[in-house]
Amino acid sequence: MILIVDSGSTKCDWISVDSYGNQLLDKIKTKGLNPAILNEEDLLSIIKSSSDLVDNQAEVSHVFFYGAGCGTEKPRLLLKQVLEKIFQNALVEVKEDTLAAVRATISNENEAAVVCILGTGSNCSYFDGENLHQRVSSLGYTLMDDASGNYYGKQLIRDYYFNHMPEDLKIAFQETYDLSGDTIKHHLYKQPNPNAYLASFAEFIFAHKDSEYIKNLILKGLREFSKNMIMQFSEEIKKVPVHFAGSIAYFSKEEIYEVADEFHFKVGNIVRRPIDGIVKYHIKQLASWK
């Protein structure tokens, strides 16, 4: 059994296939496994919460894991060790989520492109057809992650508390979520995955996209992301498309095209779930093993 895994900070999708690429189990879903935020105990607990993973652990021969928080060596090795503890018969590879986005969005294997992630977090890389390049080191959700789910969640909460939100939306917002100060502070400062908690509020913006306030909020985030992330590749975007992966990108298509006109880049593919693309990639690779 081969496991192909795509993880953000909020959720993690596991697809199991055999050596011929046939899917073996229904898609397995767990909470996100971000080793930059979670410790070893939390990571182990999340994986072991799935009976399908536990029941089949001895049958797994390969794990191809792509995840948020795996772009630097220390957290990547932590997660690799955790996976090897559980899947003791498996060869384990752990790669950053940006590579999953590349493999899910490019139209052919050697295509050069700027590839962006807009999900719970956000990131941007240049793929030259062989290698990934990043010119800004991510400092995580507190300081970066423009136009991500946690960015929009934070903006909504701030605007609600600072009374910058239109009254009709404010009423709808407080009817949808528990917005007590104690609850918010508990999740942000005493619970794991505060970035995923913030991102849970982002659904509100896509349920109220007819609001001028919401549209402007989406555009504000995308402009910040374009200025700070996409424009680091100002020369490359003159020649290659800019692809997007993630749920925030998928539901912000109209606004992405609007901002692309402002910043003069060409929008390529927009993919909601990278897992579908990386499964296809690895099934192709499996064929070369035979």
The ranges assigned to domains in the chain are 2-101+274-289
Condensed to tens digits (0 to 9), the pLDDT of residues 108-121 reads 878 999 999 999 89
Condensed to tens digits (0 to 9), the pLDDT of residues 84-106 reads 999 999 999 999 989 999 999 99
Condensed to tens digits (0 to 9), the pLDDT of residues 170-215 reads 999 999 999 999 999 999 999 988 999 999 999 999 999 999 999 9
List, as own/partner pairs, every contact residues 256-261 make where C-beta atoms lie below 8 angstroms and the sequence separation is at least 24, other chains included. Answer: 256/222, 258/219, 259/219, 259/222, 259/223, 259/226, 260/226
Return the HEC string of the chain.
CEEEEEECCCEEEEEEECCCCCECCCCEEEECCCCCCCCHHHHHHHHHCCHHHHHCHHHCCEEEEEECCCCCHHHHHHHHHHHHHHCCCCEEEEEEHHHHHHHHHCCCCCCCEEEEEECCCEEEEEECCCCEECCCCCCCCCCCCCCCHHHHHHHHHHHHHCCCCCHHHHHHHHHHCCCCHHHHHHHHHHCCCHHHHHHHHHHHHHHCCCCHHHHHHHHHHHHHHHHHCHHHHCCHHHCCCEEEECHHHHHCHHHHHHHHHHHCCCEEEEECCHHHHHHHHHHHHHHHHC
Average model confidence (pLDDT) for the chain? 93
> Using CA atoms, how far apart are residues 279 and 104, in angstroms rounded to an integer?
9
Residue 9's pLDDT is what? 84
What number of CA atoms fall less than 13 Å from residue 63's CA on the CB side?
Answer: 31
Residue 210's pLDDT is what? 93
Which pair of tokens denotes residue 66?
């792509």
Going by pLDDT thresholds of 50, 70 and 90, the confidence category of residue 137 is: confident
Going by pLDDT thresholds of 50, 70 and 90, the confidence category of residue 290 is: low
Identify which has the larger pLDDT, 68 or 268: 268
Give the CATH architecture of domain 2-101+274-289.
2-Layer Sandwich (3.30)
What is the share, in percent, of the chain residues with pLDDT greater than 70?
99
Going by pLDDT thresholds of 50, 70 and 90, the confidence category of residue 161 is: very high
Residue 288's pLDDT is what? 64
Residue 284's pLDDT is what? 83
Q: Is the Cα torsion angle 131, 67, 206, 201 positive or negative in sign?
A: negative
Residue 65's pLDDT is what? 97
Residue 289's pLDDT is what? 59
Residue 287's pLDDT is what? 66
State yes or no: pLDDT of 74 exceeds 60: yes
> Using CA atoms, how far apart are residues 94 and 257, in angstroms rounded to an integer?
33
How much is the CA Rg of the chain, to the nearest whole Å?
19
* 129-143, 194-208, 227-241, 242-256: least confident range: 129-143
